[in-house]
Amino acid sequence: MGPRPNLLTRRAAGVASTTLALLLSTAAVGAVPAASAFSAAPGGACVEPADSHANARVKPGAAAKHDPNELTAKQVRERDADLAAALRERANFRAGAGATALATVTIPVVVHVIQENSTRAGGNIPDSLITSQITVLNQAYAGATGGAATAFTFRLDKINRVTNPSWYPIVQGSSAERSMKSSLRVGGKNTLNIYLGELSDDLLGWATFPQRNLSSMDGVVALNESLPGGTATNYNQGDTGTHEVGHWLNLYHTFQGGCGGSGDSVSDTPAEASPAYECPTGRNTCSATGLDPITNFMDYTYDSCMYQFTPGQASRMLTAWNAYRAA
């Protein structure tokens, strides 16, 4: 499986390959059993565990780093147990309130552009890159690039520009990151806050997973030059944003758990022993059925090679939305 064919044409066309009806009919895919309670790091951001992959999706020319969104098997069990518990709570609430779970969702987006100064090199990217990023998100999550249609659309509500050298670059897990988010985050659980800037450790981005209590740390961080038209070669078509929003909506990496166990907790993504980089062809690292999902948005390949979510991933995201983020 190589680069996606006619990507720009398919993005412009905006035609979904899988209908919402199919998505809703596969609601059972990716369901998880109950176990112990969720015990994430403070703020719901998952810190790097000791037994995870010692690498990450990083910007061009950088050495491999730890990925904050790679989880241990224990963390996955706890997260999936928490999802099951949250679903039970929501079901009881809806039964009493006469409310129903959402089938389609429009997500308001607030983008915070963190700048060192007013130059492009200092983080001052143009609005055009941000509006293009929202277009990429809408196309990716609609299935317009070749994957399953999900329930989600994205609406840009505000671009907030902040010049603060003490927050630039954005350092993952730092007190400065916490200060930045605590000062800037707006909206409820359903509002996607995206923070753009130069990032620590050459990372392309990171995100918080959803949790029951809203934290000021909630949101997505992405390298500013990874947006469509940016300067991050091979990672400048906006799919860092697509990938990180997937985490924000409760997706794991396709290689989570390797070849054994529950993997990424989605049944229709083939097992993958380790991250795929660049644009490999015919890669097959596990004995289970199916080649490695190198075209999936939740792998590590070049933007030009990732173009799809599966119906199971679409179902998992909607399930998590109704458990954690729905009003």
Q: Residue 251 CB: number of other CB atoms within 10 A?
A: 29
Q: How far apart are CA 50 and CA 301, in angstroms?
A: 24
Beta carbons of 67 and 206 less than 8 angstroms apart: yes
Find tokens 């809408």 and name the residue.
Answer: 138
User: Which residue out of 70, 78, 225, 244 is catalytically annotated?
Assistant: 244
Q: What is the DSSP letter of 322?
A: I
| Catalytic residue flag (residue 278) | no
Which candidate, 312, 289, 275, 294, places its Cα nearest to that of 53?
275
The amino acid at residue 127 is D
Contact, 265 vs 316, CB < 8 A? yes
What's the alpha-carbon Rg for the chain, to the nearest Å?
18
Here the tokens at position 305 are: 């090679």
Q: Are 69 and 206 a contacting pair, CB within 8 Å?
A: yes
Q: Which amino acid, residue 288?
A: A
Residue 32: what are its φ and ψ, rounded to 5°? -130, 150
Positive or negative, the CA dihedral 152, 321, 20, 279 is positive
Distance in angstroms (rounded) separating the CA atoms of residues 315 and 7: 24
The CA distance from 275 to 58, in Å, is: 12
Q: Is 95 exposed, middle or buried (0-12, 13-18, 19+ CB in 10 A)?
A: exposed
Residue 169, preceding bond cis, omega within 30 degrees?
yes
Active-site amino acid positions: 244
